[in-house]
Protein backbone atom coordinates (compact mmCIF):
# COMPACT_ATOMS: atom_id res chain seq x y z
CA UNK A 1 0.00 0.00 0.00
CA UNK A 2 1.39 3.37 -0.99
CA UNK A 3 -0.39 6.66 -0.29
CA UNK A 4 0.26 9.90 -2.16
CA UNK A 5 -0.51 12.97 -0.03
CA UNK A 6 -0.96 16.32 -1.78
CA UNK A 7 -0.09 19.26 0.50
CA UNK A 8 2.32 19.51 3.44
CA UNK A 9 0.21 21.66 5.75
CA UNK A 10 -1.05 20.55 9.17
CA UNK A 11 -3.42 18.00 7.62
CA UNK A 12 -1.01 16.52 5.07
CA UNK A 13 1.90 16.20 7.50
CA UNK A 14 -0.24 14.68 10.25
CA UNK A 15 -1.54 12.21 7.67
CA UNK A 16 2.05 11.26 6.80
CA UNK A 17 2.84 10.71 10.49
CA UNK A 18 -0.34 8.68 11.11
CA UNK A 19 0.18 6.49 8.02
CA UNK A 20 3.82 5.84 8.87
CA UNK A 21 2.82 4.86 12.42
CA UNK A 22 0.59 2.17 10.81
CA UNK A 23 3.37 0.97 8.53
CA UNK A 24 1.85 2.43 5.36
CA UNK A 25 4.24 3.84 2.76
CA UNK A 26 3.59 7.50 2.01
CA UNK A 27 4.97 10.26 -0.22
CA UNK A 28 4.07 13.93 0.27
CA UNK A 29 3.97 16.51 -2.54
CA UNK A 30 3.90 20.21 -1.64
CA UNK A 31 3.47 23.13 -4.05
CA UNK A 32 5.56 25.58 -2.01
CA UNK A 33 9.19 25.65 -3.22
CA UNK A 34 10.59 25.86 0.33
CA UNK A 35 9.58 25.63 3.99
CA UNK A 36 8.84 29.14 5.18
CA UNK A 37 8.13 30.87 8.48
CA UNK A 38 4.36 31.17 8.56
CA UNK A 39 4.46 34.05 11.05
CA UNK A 40 1.17 33.10 12.69
CA UNK A 41 -0.03 30.88 15.50
CA UNK A 42 -2.99 28.68 16.19
CA UNK A 43 -4.84 26.92 18.95
CA UNK A 44 -4.81 23.13 18.85
CA UNK A 45 -8.01 22.08 20.57
CA UNK A 46 -8.08 19.17 23.04
CA UNK A 47 -9.31 16.77 20.35
CA UNK A 48 -6.20 17.55 18.26
CA UNK A 49 -3.72 17.36 21.13
CA UNK A 50 -5.21 13.99 22.09
CA UNK A 51 -4.53 12.68 18.57
CA UNK A 52 -1.05 14.20 18.40
CA UNK A 53 -0.20 12.71 21.78
CA UNK A 54 -1.33 9.28 20.54
CA UNK A 55 0.93 9.76 17.51
CA UNK A 56 3.88 10.73 19.70
CA UNK A 57 4.11 14.28 18.35
CA UNK A 58 5.91 16.61 20.76
CA UNK A 59 4.00 19.86 21.41
CA UNK A 60 6.32 21.21 24.09
CA UNK A 61 7.15 24.22 21.89
CA UNK A 62 3.60 25.51 22.49
CA UNK A 63 1.79 26.85 25.52
CA UNK A 64 -1.05 24.86 27.19
CA UNK A 65 -4.02 27.19 27.70
CA UNK A 66 -5.03 27.65 31.34
CA UNK A 67 -7.25 30.76 31.31
CA UNK A 68 -9.42 32.23 28.58
CA UNK A 69 -10.71 35.74 29.20
CA UNK A 70 -13.35 37.69 27.26
CA UNK A 71 -12.96 41.44 27.64
CA UNK A 72 -14.41 44.75 26.50
CA UNK A 73 -12.47 46.85 24.02
CA UNK A 74 -11.06 48.81 26.97
CA UNK A 75 -9.73 45.59 28.52
CA UNK A 76 -12.34 45.18 31.29
CA UNK A 77 -12.97 41.51 31.93
CA UNK A 78 -16.46 40.29 31.02
CA UNK A 79 -15.75 36.68 31.91
CA UNK A 80 -12.81 34.41 32.59
CA UNK A 81 -12.93 30.65 32.00
CA UNK A 82 -10.48 28.34 33.80
CA UNK A 83 -10.15 26.44 30.55
CA UNK A 84 -7.21 24.32 31.77
CA UNK A 85 -9.38 22.93 34.58
CA UNK A 86 -12.33 22.53 32.16
CA UNK A 87 -10.34 20.59 29.55
CA UNK A 88 -8.83 18.38 32.28
CA UNK A 89 -12.05 16.39 31.93
CA UNK A 90 -11.01 15.50 28.36
CA UNK A 91 -7.53 14.44 29.45
CA UNK A 92 -5.77 16.66 26.91
CA UNK A 93 -5.16 20.42 26.98
CA UNK A 94 -5.67 23.14 24.38
CA UNK A 95 -2.18 24.11 23.16
CA UNK A 96 -1.45 27.44 21.50
CA UNK A 97 1.57 27.18 19.24
CA UNK A 98 3.53 29.00 16.57
CA UNK A 99 2.63 27.42 13.21
CA UNK A 100 6.27 27.17 12.20
CA UNK A 101 7.00 25.20 15.38
CA UNK A 102 4.04 22.91 14.72
CA UNK A 103 5.11 22.23 11.13
CA UNK A 104 8.70 21.58 12.31
CA UNK A 105 7.56 19.10 14.95
CA UNK A 106 5.26 17.30 12.47
CA UNK A 107 8.12 17.08 9.97
CA UNK A 108 10.36 15.60 12.66
CA UNK A 109 7.64 13.07 13.55
CA UNK A 110 7.29 12.13 9.85
CA UNK A 111 10.93 10.95 9.97
CA UNK A 112 12.33 10.01 6.58
CA UNK A 113 8.99 10.25 4.73
CA UNK A 114 9.78 11.58 1.23
CA UNK A 115 8.43 15.13 0.95
CA UNK A 116 8.90 16.82 -2.42
CA UNK A 117 8.70 20.63 -2.38
CA UNK A 118 7.89 22.68 -5.48
CA UNK A 119 5.48 19.97 -6.69
CA UNK A 120 2.17 21.62 -7.59
CA UNK A 121 -0.53 19.13 -8.51
CA UNK A 122 -2.40 19.92 -11.71
CA UNK A 123 -4.69 16.87 -11.61
CA UNK A 124 -4.86 13.10 -11.21
CA UNK A 125 -5.72 10.11 -13.39
CA UNK A 126 -7.38 6.99 -12.04
CA UNK A 127 -5.62 3.87 -13.26
CA UNK A 128 -6.53 0.19 -13.03
CA UNK A 129 -4.15 -0.26 -10.10
CA UNK A 130 -4.58 3.03 -8.23
CA UNK A 131 -4.05 6.66 -9.15
CA UNK A 132 -1.41 8.84 -10.79
CA UNK A 133 -0.80 12.40 -9.55
CA UNK A 134 0.20 14.84 -12.29
CA UNK A 135 2.31 17.88 -11.45
CA UNK A 136 2.64 21.21 -13.23
CA UNK A 137 6.35 20.57 -13.93
CA UNK A 138 5.43 17.51 -16.02
CA UNK A 139 6.41 14.91 -13.40
CA UNK A 140 4.02 12.35 -11.93
CA UNK A 141 3.71 9.96 -8.99
CA UNK A 142 1.76 6.74 -8.66
CA UNK A 143 0.07 5.32 -5.56
CA UNK A 144 -2.73 3.03 -4.44
CA UNK A 145 -4.59 6.02 -2.97
CA UNK A 146 -4.32 9.81 -3.25
CA UNK A 147 -5.22 12.12 -0.38
CA UNK A 148 -6.00 15.74 -1.24
CA UNK A 149 -4.76 17.78 1.75
CA UNK A 150 -4.20 20.85 -0.41
CA UNK A 151 -6.19 23.41 1.53
CA UNK A 152 -9.22 25.61 0.88
CA UNK A 153 -8.27 26.17 -2.79
CA UNK A 154 -7.79 22.41 -3.33
CA UNK A 155 -7.08 21.25 -6.86
CA UNK A 156 -7.97 17.70 -5.84
CA UNK A 157 -11.37 18.87 -4.60
CA UNK A 158 -11.95 20.75 -7.86
CA UNK A 159 -11.45 17.48 -9.76
CA UNK A 160 -13.49 15.38 -7.30
CA UNK A 161 -16.43 17.77 -6.95
CA UNK A 162 -16.03 20.52 -9.55
CA UNK A 163 -14.50 23.99 -9.09
CA UNK A 164 -16.68 26.35 -7.04
CA UNK A 165 -16.14 29.77 -5.46
CA UNK A 166 -15.53 30.05 -1.71
CA UNK A 167 -18.18 31.62 0.54
CA UNK A 168 -17.09 35.03 1.80
CA UNK A 169 -18.38 36.16 5.18
CA UNK A 170 -17.78 39.90 5.07
CA UNK A 171 -14.91 40.39 7.47
CA UNK A 172 -11.15 40.48 7.32
CA UNK A 173 -8.62 38.83 9.70
CA UNK A 174 -5.17 40.19 10.49
CA UNK A 175 -2.65 37.89 12.15
CA UNK A 176 0.89 38.08 13.49
CA UNK A 177 3.31 36.58 15.99
CA UNK A 178 5.76 38.75 17.90
CA UNK A 179 7.99 38.58 20.99
CA UNK A 180 5.90 40.30 23.69
CA UNK A 181 5.38 40.09 27.41
CA UNK A 182 2.81 41.97 29.43
CA UNK A 183 1.45 41.38 32.96
CA UNK A 184 -2.06 41.50 31.49
CA UNK A 185 -1.26 38.35 29.50
CA UNK A 186 0.54 35.87 31.80
CA UNK A 187 1.82 32.55 30.42
CA UNK A 188 -1.00 30.15 29.58
CA UNK A 189 -3.52 32.95 28.99
CA UNK A 190 -5.58 34.04 26.00
CA UNK A 191 -7.57 37.28 25.96
CA UNK A 192 -10.34 38.06 23.48
CA UNK A 193 -11.54 41.67 23.24
CA UNK A 194 -15.05 42.04 21.82
CA UNK A 195 -16.15 45.20 20.04
CA UNK A 196 -18.92 45.93 17.54
CA UNK A 197 -18.08 43.97 14.40
CA UNK A 198 -14.43 44.25 15.44
CA UNK A 199 -12.49 41.83 17.67
CA UNK A 200 -8.97 41.25 18.86
CA UNK A 201 -7.24 38.14 20.25
CA UNK A 202 -3.97 38.11 22.22
CA UNK A 203 -2.60 34.65 22.95
CA UNK A 204 0.52 33.35 24.68
CA UNK A 205 2.25 30.77 22.45
CA UNK A 206 5.29 30.12 24.66
CA UNK A 207 8.92 31.19 24.36
CA UNK A 208 8.13 34.84 25.21
CA UNK A 209 6.04 35.19 22.06
CA UNK A 210 2.39 36.02 21.46
CA UNK A 211 0.07 35.38 18.58
CA UNK A 212 -2.43 38.16 17.91
CA UNK A 213 -5.30 38.46 15.50
CA UNK A 214 -7.85 41.16 14.72
CA UNK A 215 -11.07 41.04 12.74
CA UNK A 216 -13.25 43.75 11.22
CA UNK A 217 -16.54 43.60 9.33
CA UNK A 218 -16.23 44.91 5.78
CA UNK A 219 -18.11 44.48 2.51
CA UNK A 220 -16.88 41.19 0.95
CA UNK A 221 -15.03 42.89 -1.89
CA UNK A 222 -13.09 45.10 0.55
CA UNK A 223 -12.39 42.16 2.88
CA UNK A 224 -10.95 40.21 -0.07
CA UNK A 225 -8.72 43.01 -1.34
CA UNK A 226 -7.75 44.79 1.90
CA UNK A 227 -4.13 46.00 1.82
CA UNK A 228 -4.12 48.79 4.40
CA UNK A 229 -0.98 47.91 6.41
CA UNK A 230 -0.17 48.35 10.07
CA UNK A 231 -1.12 52.02 10.43
CA UNK A 232 -4.64 51.31 9.20
CA UNK A 233 -4.92 48.38 11.66
CA UNK A 234 -3.65 50.59 14.49
CA UNK A 235 -6.39 53.10 13.59
CA UNK A 236 -9.06 50.39 13.84
CA UNK A 237 -7.91 49.49 17.38
CA UNK A 238 -7.01 53.02 18.57
CA UNK A 239 -8.24 53.58 22.14
CA UNK A 240 -8.53 49.84 22.92
CA UNK A 241 -6.78 48.20 25.90
CA UNK A 242 -3.11 49.29 26.20
CA UNK A 243 -1.81 45.74 25.60
CA UNK A 244 -3.71 45.67 22.29
CA UNK A 245 -2.36 48.95 20.97
CA UNK A 246 1.15 48.12 22.27
CA UNK A 247 1.36 44.71 20.61
CA UNK A 248 0.28 46.20 17.27
CA UNK A 249 2.85 48.95 17.71
CA UNK A 250 5.63 46.38 18.39
CA UNK A 251 4.78 44.28 15.32
CA UNK A 252 6.75 44.98 12.13
CA UNK A 253 4.47 45.79 9.20
CA UNK A 254 5.89 42.87 7.19
CA UNK A 255 4.99 40.39 9.96
CA UNK A 256 1.24 41.03 9.59
CA UNK A 257 -0.78 38.61 7.43
CA UNK A 258 -4.22 39.43 6.09
CA UNK A 259 -6.88 36.86 5.14
CA UNK A 260 -10.57 37.30 4.36
CA UNK A 261 -13.05 35.18 6.35
CA UNK A 262 -13.97 32.30 4.04
CA UNK A 263 -15.36 28.79 4.07
CA UNK A 264 -17.37 26.66 1.65
CA UNK A 265 -20.80 25.06 1.65
CA UNK A 266 -20.40 21.60 3.20
CA UNK A 267 -19.44 18.97 0.64
CA UNK A 268 -21.25 15.65 1.17
CA UNK A 269 -19.13 13.53 -1.23
CA UNK A 270 -15.34 13.71 -0.76
CA UNK A 271 -14.27 10.66 -2.70
CA UNK A 272 -13.60 9.55 -6.27
CA UNK A 273 -12.42 5.91 -6.35
CA UNK A 274 -8.88 5.83 -4.92
CA UNK A 275 -8.99 9.58 -4.13
CA UNK A 276 -10.21 11.35 -0.99
CA UNK A 277 -10.03 14.77 0.65
CA UNK A 278 -8.83 15.83 4.08
CA UNK A 279 -8.69 19.01 6.20
CA UNK A 280 -9.53 22.32 4.54
CA UNK A 281 -9.72 20.62 1.14
CA UNK A 282 -12.72 18.64 2.43
CA UNK A 283 -14.38 20.92 4.99
CA UNK A 284 -12.95 24.45 5.28
CA UNK A 285 -14.50 26.29 8.19
CA UNK A 286 -14.45 29.73 9.79
CA UNK A 287 -11.95 30.23 12.57
CA UNK A 288 -14.28 30.85 15.53
CA UNK A 289 -14.20 27.34 17.02
CA UNK A 290 -10.43 26.87 16.46
CA UNK A 291 -11.27 23.60 14.76
CA UNK A 292 -10.03 23.94 11.14
CA UNK A 293 -6.52 22.63 11.76
CA UNK A 294 -7.64 20.58 14.75
CA UNK A 295 -10.23 18.66 12.73
CA UNK A 296 -7.66 18.00 9.99
CA UNK A 297 -5.54 16.27 12.65
CA UNK A 298 -8.54 14.09 13.57
CA UNK A 299 -9.13 13.33 9.87
CA UNK A 300 -5.55 12.11 9.52
CA UNK A 301 -5.85 9.71 12.43
CA UNK A 302 -9.20 8.29 11.31
CA UNK A 303 -8.01 7.91 7.70
CA UNK A 304 -4.90 6.00 8.80
CA UNK A 305 -7.05 3.82 11.04
CA UNK A 306 -9.31 2.86 8.12
CA UNK A 307 -6.47 2.27 5.66
CA UNK A 308 -4.69 0.06 8.21
CA UNK A 309 -7.72 -1.97 9.21
CA UNK A 310 -9.55 -2.49 5.89
CA UNK A 311 -7.73 -4.62 3.29
CA UNK A 312 -9.64 -2.93 0.44
CA UNK A 313 -8.25 0.62 -0.04
CA UNK A 314 -11.40 1.95 -1.75
CA UNK A 315 -13.68 0.67 0.97
CA UNK A 316 -11.22 2.09 3.55
CA UNK A 317 -11.49 5.56 1.98
CA UNK A 318 -15.30 5.40 1.94
CA UNK A 319 -15.23 4.19 5.56
CA UNK A 320 -13.08 7.20 6.51
CA UNK A 321 -15.40 9.64 4.72
CA UNK A 322 -18.48 8.13 6.38
CA UNK A 323 -16.82 8.32 9.78
CA UNK A 324 -15.97 12.02 9.35
CA UNK A 325 -19.01 13.45 7.58
CA UNK A 326 -21.38 14.18 10.48
CA UNK A 327 -18.74 15.53 12.82
CA UNK A 328 -17.13 17.89 10.32
CA UNK A 329 -20.54 19.08 9.04
CA UNK A 330 -21.37 19.99 12.65
CA UNK A 331 -18.05 21.84 13.10
CA UNK A 332 -18.53 23.87 9.88
CA UNK A 333 -22.07 24.86 10.99
CA UNK A 334 -21.07 25.68 14.59
CA UNK A 335 -18.14 27.79 13.41
CA UNK A 336 -20.54 29.86 11.30
CA UNK A 337 -22.97 30.30 14.20
CA UNK A 338 -20.26 31.40 16.61
CA UNK A 339 -18.72 33.70 14.02
CA UNK A 340 -22.07 35.48 13.55
CA UNK A 341 -22.36 36.01 17.31
CA UNK A 342 -18.80 37.26 17.61
CA UNK A 343 -18.97 39.68 14.66
CA UNK A 344 -22.32 41.29 15.69
CA UNK A 345 -22.35 44.99 14.94
CA UNK A 346 -25.77 46.18 16.11
CA UNK A 347 -25.13 48.07 19.43
CA UNK A 348 -28.24 46.78 21.20
CA UNK A 349 -27.48 43.16 20.29
CA UNK A 350 -23.83 43.63 21.27
CA UNK A 351 -24.95 44.86 24.72
CA UNK A 352 -27.21 41.84 25.08
CA UNK A 353 -24.42 39.44 23.97
CA UNK A 354 -21.96 40.93 26.46
CA UNK A 355 -24.55 40.83 29.28
CA UNK A 356 -25.25 37.16 28.58
CA UNK A 357 -21.54 36.31 28.66
CA UNK A 358 -21.21 38.07 32.02
CA UNK A 359 -24.00 36.11 33.71
CA UNK A 360 -24.19 32.78 31.85
CA UNK A 361 -23.87 29.89 34.31
CA UNK A 362 -20.38 28.38 34.28
CA UNK A 363 -21.96 24.95 33.72
CA UNK A 364 -23.42 26.19 30.39
CA UNK A 365 -20.15 27.79 29.24
CA UNK A 366 -18.26 24.66 30.24
CA UNK A 367 -20.62 22.45 28.25
CA UNK A 368 -20.49 24.72 25.18
CA UNK A 369 -16.69 24.84 25.23
CA UNK A 370 -16.24 21.12 25.71
CA UNK A 371 -18.78 19.94 23.10
CA UNK A 372 -16.73 20.50 19.90
CA UNK A 373 -13.58 19.10 21.54
CA UNK A 374 -15.07 15.73 22.46
CA UNK A 375 -13.51 13.12 20.19
CA UNK A 376 -12.91 9.43 20.83
CA UNK A 377 -9.96 7.86 19.06
CA UNK A 378 -11.07 4.96 16.88
CA UNK A 379 -10.38 1.60 18.45
CA UNK A 380 -7.33 -0.03 16.88
CA UNK A 381 -8.11 -2.95 14.59
CA UNK A 382 -5.03 -4.60 13.21
CA UNK A 383 -5.41 -6.72 10.11
CA UNK A 384 -3.78 -10.15 10.11
CA UNK A 385 -0.95 -10.21 7.60
C1 LIG B 1 -7.05 33.50 10.62
C2 LIG B 1 -7.07 32.02 10.85
C3 LIG B 1 -6.98 31.52 12.14
C4 LIG B 1 -7.07 30.14 12.36
N5 LIG B 1 -6.97 29.66 13.63
C6 LIG B 1 -7.05 28.34 13.85
C7 LIG B 1 -6.94 27.79 15.18
O8 LIG B 1 -6.73 28.52 16.15
N9 LIG B 1 -7.05 26.45 15.34
C10 LIG B 1 -7.27 25.59 14.29
O11 LIG B 1 -7.37 24.38 14.50
N12 LIG B 1 -7.37 26.07 13.03
C13 LIG B 1 -7.27 27.40 12.79
N14 LIG B 1 -7.37 27.90 11.53
C15 LIG B 1 -7.64 26.96 10.42
C16 LIG B 1 -6.38 26.26 9.98
O17 LIG B 1 -5.38 27.18 9.64
C18 LIG B 1 -6.68 25.39 8.76
O19 LIG B 1 -7.86 24.66 8.98
C20 LIG B 1 -5.53 24.41 8.54
O21 LIG B 1 -4.35 25.11 8.21
C22 LIG B 1 -5.91 23.44 7.44
O23 LIG B 1 -4.82 22.58 7.20
P24 LIG B 1 -4.68 21.83 5.81
O25 LIG B 1 -3.44 21.04 5.92
O26 LIG B 1 -5.97 21.15 5.50
O27 LIG B 1 -4.55 23.00 4.75
P28 LIG B 1 -3.39 24.06 4.57
O29 LIG B 1 -2.81 24.45 5.89
O30 LIG B 1 -3.97 25.15 3.73
O31 LIG B 1 -2.26 23.31 3.75
C32 LIG B 1 -2.44 22.99 2.41
C33 LIG B 1 -1.07 22.79 1.78
O34 LIG B 1 -1.27 22.34 0.45
C35 LIG B 1 -0.40 23.04 -0.41
N36 LIG B 1 -1.01 23.05 -1.77
C37 LIG B 1 -2.04 23.82 -2.20
N38 LIG B 1 -2.33 23.53 -3.48
C39 LIG B 1 -1.47 22.55 -3.86
C40 LIG B 1 -1.28 21.82 -5.07
N41 LIG B 1 -2.04 22.05 -6.17
N42 LIG B 1 -0.30 20.89 -5.14
C43 LIG B 1 0.49 20.62 -4.04
N44 LIG B 1 0.34 21.28 -2.87
C45 LIG B 1 -0.63 22.23 -2.78
C46 LIG B 1 -0.27 24.41 0.20
O47 LIG B 1 0.90 25.06 -0.23
C48 LIG B 1 -0.26 24.07 1.69
O49 LIG B 1 1.03 23.83 2.18
C50 LIG B 1 -7.26 29.28 11.28
C51 LIG B 1 -7.32 29.78 9.97
C52 LIG B 1 -7.22 31.14 9.77
C53 LIG B 1 -7.32 31.66 8.35
- How many A from CA of 155 to the centre of ligand 1? 14
Decide if 193 is catalytic. yes
Q: For a substitution probing ligand 1, which of 159, 280, 293 has the most ligand atoms within 8 Å of its CB?
A: 293
| pTM of the model as a whole | 0.96
Query: Which of ligand 1's atoms lies nearest the C-alpha of 257?
Result: 1
What pLDDT score does 380 carry?
A: 63
What pLDDT score does 384 carry?
A: 43
- How many A from CA of 7 to the centre of ligand 1? 9
- Proportion of the chain in helix, strand, coil states, percent, rounded to 5: 40, 25, 35
User: In this predicted model, what pLDDT tens digit does every residue of 129-149 receive, in sequence order?
Assistant: 999 999 999 999 999 999 999
User: In this predicted model, what pLDDT tens digit does every residue of 63-102 receive, in sequence order?
Assistant: 999 999 999 999 999 999 999 999 999 999 999 999 999 9
To 10 degrees, what angle do helices 292-309 and 10-21 make? 30
- How many A from CA of 93 to the centre of ligand 1? 22
**Rg of the chain, C-alpha, whole Å:** 21
With cut-offs at 50, 70 and 90, classify the pLDDT of residue 207: very high
Lowest mean pLDDT among 148-152, 185-189, 380-384: 380-384
* The CA-based dihedral angle spanning residues 303, 330, 366, 294, taken in that order and rounded to the nearest 10 degrees: 40
Active-site residue (options: 193, 211, 301, 320) = 193
What pLDDT score does 37 carry?
A: 86
CA-based end-to-end distance of the chain: 13
User: In this predicted model, what pLDDT tens digit does every residue of 120-129 receive, in sequence order?
Assistant: 999 999 999 9
Q: What distance in Å separates the CA atoms of residue 49 and residue 55, rounded to the nearest whole number?
A: 10
Q: For a substitution probing ligand 1, which of 4, 5, 9 has the most ligand atoms within 8 Å of its CB?
A: 9
292 within 8 A of 283, measured Cβ to Cβ: no
Nearest to 42 by CA among 95, 106, 107: 95
Query: Which of ligand 1's atoms lies nearest the C-alpha of 295?
Result: 11
Residue 89 burial by Cβ neighbours in a 10 Å radius (0-12, 13-18, 19+): exposed
What pLDDT score does 379 carry?
A: 74
With cut-offs at 50, 70 and 90, classify the pLDDT of residue 349: very high
DSSP, collapsed to helix, strand or coil, labels residue 203 as: strand
Pairing of strands 275-277, 41-44: unpaired
What pLDDT score does 2 carry?
A: 98
User: What average pLDDT does the chain have?
Assistant: 96
Query: Which of ligand 1's atoms lies nearest the C-alpha of 175?
Result: 1
Amino acid sequence: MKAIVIGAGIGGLTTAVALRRRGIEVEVYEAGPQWRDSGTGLGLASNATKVLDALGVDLSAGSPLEYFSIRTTAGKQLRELPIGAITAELGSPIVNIHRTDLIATLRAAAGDTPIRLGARLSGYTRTGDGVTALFEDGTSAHGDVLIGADGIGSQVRAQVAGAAPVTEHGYVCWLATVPFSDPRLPAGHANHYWGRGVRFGLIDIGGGRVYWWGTKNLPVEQARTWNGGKDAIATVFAGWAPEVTEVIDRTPDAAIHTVPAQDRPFLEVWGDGPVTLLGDAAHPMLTSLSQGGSSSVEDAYVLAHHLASDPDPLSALRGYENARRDRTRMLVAQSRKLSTLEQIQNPAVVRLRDAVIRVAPMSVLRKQNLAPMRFDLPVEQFVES
